[in-house]
Amino acid sequence: MESLGEGHQRTLPLDRNRELLKTAREEIYKTVGDISLPVYIWEPEADKAPQYPKSVAAFFFSSGWDNGQIAQFAPHCVYFASRGMMTMAFDYRITNRNRGGPLEAIADARSAMRWIRLNAVELGINPGKIVGIGGSGGGHAITSAAMLNGFDDPADILDSSPAPNAIVLFNPVLDTSKKGFGLERFPDAGVAKDANLIRAIRPGLPPMLIMHGTADRVVPFAGTYEFAKKSSKKKNFCRLIEFEGQGHGFFNFNLSFEMYEATLMAMDEFFVELGFLEPDPEAGLGKVD
């Protein structure tokens, strides 16, 4: 689990999330040397699955690129599988577990997107309806897949696009300058500058939904506000929902069910709006057990 900086770490037990992770099918999507990276996959029930190829929700756990738990978004995965999407929770390299950092996280997110598309027929999914979802450093990794060039794993098949078709972000790292987060975690300032997503804004980005607490003491809200404002000026669809007075990690199921529900329903509405999910008047929570 990422360090929340406000004493919240003790209040986020992940045992229940780990139990939900056991309901998924595990596959290895990438191997780097002696490191095997798993993806956990949830299929919708037969009566919930659409008649056409499914949309995909691909989750990348919150981290500062040092630690984090792949089970974090398991409740979200179970919920959206119940709504008819194929959902996936991807592991990626971080410092404390498998000698990773921000550059490895970016490369792994790009590899994950390519893995989905290369296996689209076998998975029964629509390769044009993939949502990349991430928190903190995981949010930076998946957004980088849409916005940055390079940073690829040399083993990847590069003719397959690494960009998700839509993005959902929770308190994301978008500014890697000294006024943002993570500058010192890059090899040098030049690389951090190249990975600064505020500097990479251009027209034609995938639609984005960003949710961030205004009282975040870990990843400054100001960077997200600046990103959303500049991206919208470039005519991109970039919806920022401000959660007044909320801190880092406010959206986690085990921290606040109210905030979890609010952010989950915002995601559901976003997916329906994009045509990635069918409207469901009975969509709701309490179905994750």
For 247-266, how does the pLDDT look when each residue is reduced to its tens digit (9 = 90+)?
999 999 888 899 999 999 99
242-246 long-range CB contacts below 8 Å, 24 or more apart? 242/212, 242/214, 243/211, 243/212, 243/213, 243/214, 244/213, 244/214, 244/215, 245/213, 245/214, 245/215, 246/213, 246/214, 246/215, 246/216
Write down the number of H helices and E strands in the chain.
9, 8
- Percentage of the chain modeled with pLDDT above 90: 83
Of residues 282 and 99, the one with the higher pLDDT is 99
For 22-57, how does the pLDDT look when each residue is reduced to its tens digit (9 = 90+)?
999 999 999 999 999 999 999 998 888 888 899 999
Helix, strand, or coil (residue 231): helix
For 136-176, how does the pLDDT look when each residue is reduced to its tens digit (9 = 90+)?
999 999 999 999 998 999 999 899 999 999 999 999 999 99
Cβ neighbours of residue 21 under 8 Å, at least 6 residues apart? Answer: 40, 70, 71, 74, 89
CA 271 from chain centre, in angstroms, equals: 14
Nearest to 92 by CA among 58, 118, 121, 122: 58
Alpha helix (H) residue ranges in the chain: 15-21, 74-82, 95-98, 102-118, 120-123, 136-147, 189-194, 221-233, 257-274
Do 162 and 109 form a contact (C-beta atoms < 8 A)? Answer: yes
Does the predicted model carry a pTM greater than 0.85?
yes
Helix, strand, or coil (residue 20): helix
